[in-house]
Amino acid sequence: MLILGIESSCDDTAAAVVEDGSRVLSSVVSSQDDIHGVYGGIVPELASRRHIESIIPVVDEALLRADVTMDKIDGIAVTQGPGLVGSLLIGLSFAKSVSYVKNIPLTGVNHIEAHPLAAFLKEAGQEKATPEFPAVALIVSGGHTTLIYLEDYTSYKILGQTRDDAAGEAFDKVAKLLGLGYPGGVVIDRLAKDGNPHFIEFTRPYLAKGNLDFSFSGIKTAVLNEVRKNPPAPENLKDFAASFQEAVVDVLVDKAMWAMDATDAKDLITAGGVAGNSRLRGRLKETADKAGIRLFIPPPKFCSDNGAMIAALGYHQLKKGLFAGFDLNARPTWEGF
């Protein structure tokens, strides 16, 4: 089965063609960083307008790279949420239109549920181990920080989730406080590599021992107070960035290990935009190796928003008969077309 995956939940317009839920034939992403960077964050109306301009060229390019036509596509998977309403509307409207005209089965995918499926993706000619169920997934993105227990591709239980600010949001807000620009996570990661992670010992927001929920609003406030009290000199920015990053990484790694201890899972998946952070990837590998846990982190291009992960989950939903209709939303139902 060839699945066309379409992703437009936030500021990236993405499309991919994936075979049988794992083999990536193409993956195209159109970034909007140049548009939103001058504002220090995403402007929803501007994001929607760019999606309108990009959606057809991006899908056309994905089909071209996969060397297939729309007539060869067996199913369409599109992000139905969560995300910016205006951005989601563009992808959903396009996917429904193509589905209707071409009579191609359609399924709506939850963006957060799709992130762990990136660990199962393989590029042409690539052979690699993939996670086995049950597994624990740590999903770390700009809007969500969530731990889930995966029973199979489409069934899971939430172990812990964001109570306020997600890790990715904290990275971007701290970068803005330090005048580092947007998107901030990449800049902080780069600066922190040469910094002292113990320059400032920020309090780790664990909530309580064993609690698997996340809260990063407090550390964001702590950074703000520190900046106001002791504005960092230019030469200390790398130490400041490393100290903040280490505090967030400590919490993410520890809670992932707590989740593994609380379940019978042997495999840990980490995905989402923040999973591209080099310090988080390194610490997770080191900790997982010591604990005898199999760790699966997709390459950075499949950690950030992409159409391939949407297609991967869409494949398994379509196999289960989880189709979407043409009403006001694309929420999967069991009724079929």
In this prediction, residue 318 carries a pLDDT of 97
- Tens digits of residue pLDDT in 178-226: 988 888 899 999 999 999 999 999 999 998 888 999 999 999 999 999 9
DSSP 111-148: HHHHGGGGGG-EETT-------SSEEEEEE-SS-EEEE
32 and 11 Cβ atoms separated by less than 8 Å: yes
Q: Do domains 2-121+303-319 and 135-297 have the same CATH topology?
A: yes
Averaged pLDDT, 85-109: 96
The burial of 217, by beta-carbon neighbours within 10 Å (0-12 exposed, 13-18 middle, 19 or more buried), is given as middle
Instruction: Give the global pTM.
Output: 0.93
The CATH class given to the 2-121+303-319 domain equals alpha beta
- Residue boundaries of the structural domains of the chain: 2-121+303-319, 135-297
Name which CATH class applies to 135-297: alpha beta
Mean pLDDT of 48-54: 96
Q: How far apart are CA 200 and CA 117, in angstroms?
A: 36
- How do residues 213-263 score in pLDDT, each as one tens digit? 999 999 999 999 999 998 889 999 999 999 999 999 999 999 999 999 999
Share of the chain above pLDDT 70, in %: 97
Across 88-102, average pLDDT: 96
pLDDT score, position 34: 82
Label residue 40 left, alpha or beta by phi (over 0 means left) and psi (-120 to 50 means alpha).
left
Do the beta carbons of residue 95 and residue 233 sit within 8 Å? no
- DSSP class of residue 311? H
**Mean predicted confidence (pLDDT) in 116-127:** 92
